[in-house]
Structure 1
Amino acid sequence: MSARHFLSLKDCTPQELVSLIRRGIELKDLRNRGVLFEPLKNRVLGMIFEKASTRTRLSFEAGMIQLGGQAIFLSPRDTQLGRGEPIADAAKVMSRMLDAVMIRTFAHSNLIEFASNSLVPVINGLSDDLHPCQLLADMQTFLEHRGNIAGKTVTWIGDGNNMCNSYIEAAQQFDFQLRIACPEGYEPPPEFLAQAADRVQIFRDPREAVAGAHLVSTDVWASMGQEEEIAERLKLFAPYQVNRALLDTAAEDVLFLHCLPAHRGEEISEDLLDDPRSAAWDQAENRLHAQKALLEFLVEPAYHHA
């Protein structure tokens, strides 16, 4: 199986990641100028969703269409996967008909198993472990607004979840320092922390973590599948709300990002997305452009040995 997959930021070199983000900016400019650019004509992306989605589905589907290809939405309700077809079998069959597969799933091991049996590129559209496509958009947004992130200080506030894990990988790949502010017991998994070694520090006090930071990011306090923990999490995470006063303690040119959907009044104050330091709407749009760059990078080579 020689297909190139994107399950984690670690699947690309730092140079490739920077090229992807710069390409995302170029593709965004083409679209803004109304230039038709269809390198993936007649290419088909299969999109498997086990979890709900707004931005991931829209950005991959619109992105494929804008690149001249098509995307097929598959939910477990509509496929044999939902009725217990082995992942390996599904991967072998689907990858003979498609040019790439995007999967949003719970267990990261599902992605790894699918990819190891797929003839075509597999993209992680979010798993319980990682959300690398979101990080491409985040890094593109920082580059557009503030320039190179290398050597900067980034603060993640809240749950040590899949987004946090992807920020840990980004710290290594994009060469920044990461501070994580979270309640005790909600740290990211030790194996992610171990890989990053001296790039990551854990804080209990969000103010301490944000002091002088150039980028501050957060996410909802309870992810999909954790709904029954909401009441307990609301109490524990209350001191970790990101508000304007907290951002005031960061660097003067701090940028605030949120992967959305946001729960105003919980992980962010009601007014935070309207703060001039927030770039969450640009960040959401950049899912489209960064993923188009990714699709072009992974799928385009198929032409050269057709």
Structure 2
Amino acid sequence: MNLVSLSALSPEDVRAIWRLAALPPVDVQGAAAWSFEGNGIRTRTTFLKAFHELNLSVIELPNLLKTNERVCDLAGYLDPFYDIYVIRESNHERLAEFAASSRRPVVNAMSNAGHPCEVLTDAYFIETTIGPIQKVRICLWGPPTNVFRSWHELASVLGFTLVHVCHESFHETIPNVAFSSASPEAADVVITDGWPRGTEQLSRPLSVEDLARMGNPVLLPTPPFTVGGELSVDPRRYPHFAGYEQKKLLLPVQRAVLQYLLAT
């Protein structure tokens, strides 16, 4: 079983990962291959701590999928040495092809098409601090991103509805996603993400006035966030900011993902 995109999970998989996240770490042992493109300072920090807590030995394979070698050959040669792969790779198609070729679990630590562990973590935060996710009014604010695509997938898997506020040129027909050009009348949580390059002229920052119109919901900006970019309000000055410590949940959720995939 892989976690390349959230659409590959069932509702039972998601709930099982969340249950594991609430439990202390266990000693699973084994060997993990680790290839991490870019900075990703939070994701990098928490995955490395998760490996340690599960007693997984880690071997770094820089730029694993950047070679010209066929992914079937890479997987064929490397699988005997590893129990799981954790890969941050911008080329989602190549990552998915490698996962399909490997006999070991593959975790997408971020690609250009999705950020499943980040979204599983934020959804777990909503579920455990705001209320059952099927009943929470969730608003995505801004143009489509890899994070928002993972939110779309999770909404389809778990059967809840999202409101996605963005310019009409970005509107699509996606199950469980209601696209809008205007903010909803009410929301319980608003999630932002950094704007992809080239979308600045079609995007409007989230303001304190927007938040007030929605009833002052919890603000959950996806880091790294930019005040003056996707946000005109400084989260530190907004009383319902989810807070920096919210991202501490990356560790138990990523640890649970590793533990769950290794067990299955």
**RMSD, aligned α-carbons:** 2.0
Match status 1:25 vs 2:22: yes
CA–CA distance in 2 between the matches of 1:243 and 1:280? Answer: 17
| SS of 2:22 mapped into structure 1 | helix
**TM-score normalised to structure 1 length:** 0.79
Say which of 21, 24, 27 aligns to 1:39.
Answer: 27
Bigger helix fraction: 1
CA–CA distance in 1 between the matches of 2:17 and 2:228? Answer: 35
Report if the CA contact (8 A) 2:208-2:233 is conserved: no
Letter in 2 for 1:74: L
1:151-176 per-position Cα deviation (integer Å, ceiling 9, x unaligned): 33211111211111111112122332
CA–CA distance in 2 between the matches of 1:178 and 1:259? Answer: 16
1:46-91 per-position Cα deviation (integer Å, ceiling 9, x unaligned): 1222343212221111111011113333322xx5x43422222112
Say which of 231, 246, 250 aligns to 2:214.
Answer: 250
Aligned ranges 1:151-166 → 2 under 5 Å: 151-166=135-150
Aligned ranges 1:1-306 → 2 under 5 Å: 4-27=1-24, 37-41=25-29, 43-76=30-63, 81-187=65-171, 190=172, 193-194=173-174, 196=175, 199-205=176-182, 207=183, 209=184, 211-222=185-196, 226=197, 229=198, 233-237=199-203, 240-251=204-215, 254-301=217-264
CA–CA distance in 1 between the matches of 2:12 and 2:134? Answer: 12
Letter in 1 for 2:181: R
CA–CA distance in 1 between the matches of 2:36 and 2:127? Answer: 30
Q: Provide closer, same or farther for how the CA distance between residues 140 and 273 of structure 1 changes in structure 2, counting only shifts above 3 A.
A: farther
Report if the CA contact (8 A) 2:11-2:158 is conserved: yes
Report if the CA contact (8 A) 2:21-2:256 is conserved: yes
Q: Provide closer, same or farther for how the CA distance between residues 295 and 44 of structure 1 changes in structure 2, counting only shifts above 3 A.
A: same
Which runs of no fewer than 5 residues in structure 1 stay unpaired? 28-36, 302-306
Letter in 1 for 2:19: R
Aligned residues, how many?
A: 264
Report if the CA contact (8 A) 1:241-1:269 is conserved: yes
CA–CA distance in 1 between the matches of 2:245 and 2:89? Answer: 25
CA–CA distance in 1 between the matches of 2:240 and 2:108? Answer: 29
Letter in 2 for 1:259: T
Q: Provide closer, same or farther for how the CA distance between residues 92 and 152 of structure 1 changes in structure 2, counting only shifts above 3 A.
A: same
Report if the CA contact (8 A) 1:243-1:269 is conserved: yes
CA displacement at 1:251 relative to structure 2? 4.2
Following superposition, which runs of at least 4 residues in structure 1 exceed 6 angstroms of deviation? none
Letter in 2 for 1:105: E
**TM-score normalised to structure 2 length:** 0.91
Letter in 2 for 1:278: F
CA–CA distance in 1 between the matches of 2:28 and 2:71? Answer: 26
CA–CA distance in 2 between the matches of 1:40 and 1:249? Answer: 48
Overall identity of the aligned pairs, in %? 26
Which runs of no fewer than 5 residues in structure 2 stay unpaired? none
1:197-248 per-position Cα deviation (integer Å, ceiling 9, x unaligned): xx2111112x3x3x211121010012xxx4xx3xxx33332xx312332222
Q: Provide closer, same or farther for how the CA distance between residues 152 and 38 of structure 1 changes in structure 2, counting only shifts above 3 A.
A: closer
